[in-house]
Structure 1
Amino acid sequence: MEKVDVVIIGAGASGLMCAATAAYRGRKVVVLDHANKAGKKILMSGGGRCNFTNMDAAPKHFLSDNPHFCISALRRYSPQDFVDLVDRHGLDYVEKTPGQLFCEHSAKDLLEILLTELEWSGARLQLNSKIHAIDYQAEQTVINTNQGDFCCDSLVVATGGLSIPTMGASGFGYEIAKQVGHDILPTRASLVPITVQPDRKAQLAELSGIACDIVASANGTSFQEPMLFTHRGVSGPSILQITNFWQPGEELTINLAPELTLESLQAIRQNTPKKSFEGVLSNQLPKRLVELIKGQFPWLNERSAQTSNEQIESLHAYLSRFDIAPNGTEGYRTAEVTLGGVNTNEVSSKTFESSKQKGLYFIGEVLDVTGWLGGYNFQWAWASGFCAGQHV
């Protein structure tokens, strides 16, 4: 049996950050992962370029049953702290939209930095490691694996959530938590495409591949960002964002043309009577979408002067409450995150140690902390990993 100070289960973003942080403090650290490669989710995120932080990250961008839990870690390890780290390694990155930082070339560059930090700190990475049992003893924890047993003072669970099982995601971290009596808040796939009812799917099939800027609203929250029509339903930033707040069966409102208010449509008839509403829509929406709308409103190509108040009101209602007939989501298969997880009321917001078991820590996505789309979840991984690494 090998004696170490810290064992970390999971070689993802939070686990790698925690490992290097703890090892730089002089702790003897081993990272165990069942996969054959570290950081698989890092490599595939952001279209292979990894949106690794958001400079605007703040507690308001995170969902949790205990919304105050994330405040301490986000204050102690800011987006600028992580940017300083990658700057020291000369990472080339770009700001694609305000605050969102992506690797300029490849997420491989970012993973290489994390693995270099791991090596420099003296932490050890052990892949293809299957954990058979965890035994909590009086002053230490024993982890039995297919590659030998480890005895440690601190065990850190950085296993992530259930999202993208093809990348190796599993509920193992929740199982560890349950074994010592932790409450697991209900989990569901989030930041995920929405599927539509079969009849509507057939109607929208011809729109697959086109995108438009919309406002998606649910449960009092709205996002104005692009929506992408897919062969299964809808996706794109606005749709992924709203799934943090919407669940199947609840009301979901899609405003196809937020700039076209009822008043502005009426003003078009008054100020440009010779202009058609088809022309107006063509300036706002993709051609194929306008053709679909024309199927509902054949009079769109007429002069606006010829339209009635009822027609304009009907058009506005159609655009502002465009019915996609949501059916559900694509689930964990394509979800970027898992909502829910280990109840943070049972974990220290300063050290990330369990209140149920001394020497046991939870960081990253396994906890009930979920960020918006746009680099927030990676910032949570860096912050929670760093803060736990200061104490394990």
Structure 2
Amino acid sequence: MTYETHNPYDAVIIGGGACGLMCAVQAGIRGKRTLVLERNDRPGAKILISGGGRCNYTNLHTTIENFVAAEPAFAHSAFSRWTVDDTIRFFEQHGIVGQEKTLGQLFPVSNSAKDIVQVFVTLMKRYGQELKVNSQALSVDRLTAGRFEVSYETKGVTHRVTTNALVMASGGLPVEKLGASDFALRVARQFGLSVEPTAPALVPLTITGKDADWFAALSGNSVLCRVSNERASFEENILFTHWGLSGPAILQISSYWRPGELIVLDLLPNHSIEQLINTERRAGGKRLVGQLLGDFYSRRLVESMRKFLPIDTKIASLSKADAKRITAVIHQFAVKPAGDKGYDKAEVMRGGVATHHLLPQTLAARDVPGLYFGGECVDMTGWLGGYNFQWAWASGYVIAQAV
């Protein structure tokens, strides 16, 4: 074991992801020196895989309404101090020009997440910040005089370093192969902070039982859909898979779904199937129900509807009961997921360090001076589409102003 007797660091940051990297760079701009401990062999592992390797690095429409948390308003202070405009300006200053895709999502024009990570690697060097990769934090102890001792392992050798400011930016539980762990949550509990219940979020949902084969047979089919439950509603594409449902709308609703609950699919959100049927009837109603549905869905999806609907019946021949059933199936298709695909398929973790233990202006633990929590380990879960990155940048920034 080695012990660093001379500590030149103003802060030790555990985690070299979005929050940790932003924190280190912003601290460097203030003339502070930080040590970033990253357990992977390179920083920004989740940045590199986000958006299919393109990195949706913010969302133009970010507000606290786009977050799932016990106290969403907690993020207001951070978002007022580091805004979406600040994110855009920061990356533009370092060569990253954004382009808006759907629903306010901003991607680099280069479509490369590597460019985002390279910004931080370059700035870390410029401001003299130290990054140690392949370095896994093992434990944290509080010393006298408000200092912390961090034990970490690098290539089989255990080291210890002390610091007055300790930043927990080690992320959440997704994705294990990228080095995800509950370390930040364990440290929080160690120092008396409670943790809101955690679960996979922005995650595909699984279907089992009698309808499993029906969903599996539609694997690969994508359709615009409004997915809702009692808590939320999202209108984007859904994707049928061999094991259930995925796609943007499903990932979004998953953050609001709890095991045992139903979700409702409106498979034709921008039309009224009842009005379409009435229009067909006025024109003679010679077409079949399946032909009408074929105006909106793939042949395979229409054929699968045979299980629920009279697709071979002429529209003119539909009974009131038939028309009512069609309306219910198309606009109120109820699904009871069996579960989700777990942390390895989840974009983020729901829950985390309870925000009532943290100061909103600095993200410091109220009762543990010098201990900070930022990014995904905090109970602040954004929607799909760049919101979680905006929280990571903002939380990294405000912590950097305090260390």
Match of 1:167 in 2: 178
Equivalent AA in structure 2 for residue 111 of structure 1: V
The Cα shift of 1:93 comes to 3.5
Describe how 1:346-385 pairs up with structure 2 within 5 A.
346-385=357-396
1:106 correspondence with 2:98 = no
Candidates 188, 194, 201, aligned match of 2:199: 188
Measured in 1, the distance between the counterparts of 2:33 and 2:308 equals: 67
SS state of the match for residue 94, structure 1? strand
Match of 1:88 in 2: 93
**CA deviation map 1:101-157 (0-9, x unaligned):** 123331111111121121222211011112233221223222122353222110000
Candidates 49, 56, 72, aligned match of 1:44: 49
Residues 309, 325 of structure 2: 8 Å contact kept: no
Candidates 143, 146, 150, aligned match of 1:139: 146
Match of 1:340 in 2: 351
Residues 223, 239 of structure 2: 8 Å contact kept: yes
- Range moving further from structure 2, 203-212 or 182-191: 203-212
SS state of the match for residue 326, structure 1? coil
Measured in 1, the distance between the counterparts of 2:82 and 2:32 equals: 20
Candidates 275, 278, 283, aligned match of 2:295: 283
SS state of the match for residue 140, structure 2? strand
Match of 1:123 in 2: 129
- Range moving further from structure 2, 94-103 or 139-148: 139-148
The sequence identity of aligned pairs, in percent, is 39
Measured in 2, the distance between the counterparts of 1:329 and 1:113 equals: 35
Residues 274, 327 of structure 2: 8 Å contact kept: no
SS state of the match for residue 181, structure 1? coil
Match of 1:64 in 2: 69
SS state of the match for residue 69, structure 1? helix
Equivalent AA in structure 2 for residue 328 of structure 1: G
Residues 24, 122 of structure 1: 8 Å contact kept: no
Equivalent AA in structure 2 for residue 155 of structure 1: L
1:18 correspondence with 2:30 = no
- Range moving further from structure 2, 254-263 or 278-287: 254-263
1:53 correspondence with 2:58 = yes
The Cα shift of 1:306 comes to 1.5
Structure 1: stretches of 5+ with no match in the other structure: none
**CA deviation map 1:251-279 (0-9, x unaligned):** 21111122343541442343222333222
Candidates 240, 263, 271, aligned match of 1:252: 263
Measured in 2, the distance between the counterparts of 1:45 and 1:352 equals: 25
Structure 2: stretches of 5+ with no match in the other structure: none
SS state of the match for residue 27, structure 1? coil
Describe how 1:223-262 pairs up with structure 2 within 5 A.
223-261=234-272
Measured in 1, the distance between the counterparts of 2:381 and 2:308 equals: 40
Measured in 2, the distance between the counterparts of 1:120 and 1:310 equals: 71
TM value normalised by structure 1? 0.96
Candidates 70, 75, 78, aligned match of 1:73: 78
- Range moving further from structure 2, 121-130 or 261-270: 261-270
SS state of the match for residue 384, structure 2? coil
The Cα shift of 1:33 comes to 1.3
Measured in 2, the distance between the counterparts of 1:324 and 1:200 equals: 9
State the Cα RMSD in Å: 1.5
Candidates 215, 225, 228, aligned match of 1:204: 215
Match of 1:296 in 2: 308
**CA deviation map 1:212-252 (0-9, x unaligned):** 00111112411111000111111000000001111120121
SS state of the match for residue 72, structure 2? coil
**CA deviation map 1:13-42 (0-9, x unaligned):** 000000111121111110011111111000
Residues 262, 334 of structure 2: 8 Å contact kept: no
Measured in 2, the distance between the counterparts of 1:163 and 1:121 equals: 30
The Cα shift of 1:180 comes to 0.6
Equivalent AA in structure 2 for residue 277 of structure 1: V
- Range moving further from structure 2, 72-81 or 287-296: 287-296
Match of 2:324 in 1: 313
- Range moving further from structure 2, 264-273 or 105-114: 264-273
Equivalent AA in structure 2 for residue 102 of structure 1: F
Measured in 1, the distance between the counterparts of 2:150 and 2:253 equals: 40
Match of 2:38 in 1: 33
Measured in 2, the distance between the counterparts of 1:59 and 1:325 equals: 29
SS state of the match for residue 353, structure 1? coil
The Cα shift of 1:323 comes to 4.0
1:7 correspondence with 2:12 = yes
Residues 351, 378 of structure 2: 8 Å contact kept: yes
Measured in 2, the distance between the counterparts of 1:323 and 1:146 equals: 50
Residues 141, 154 of structure 1: 8 Å contact kept: yes
Aligned length: 391
Measured in 2, the distance between the counterparts of 1:125 and 1:374 equals: 28
Match of 1:179 in 2: 190
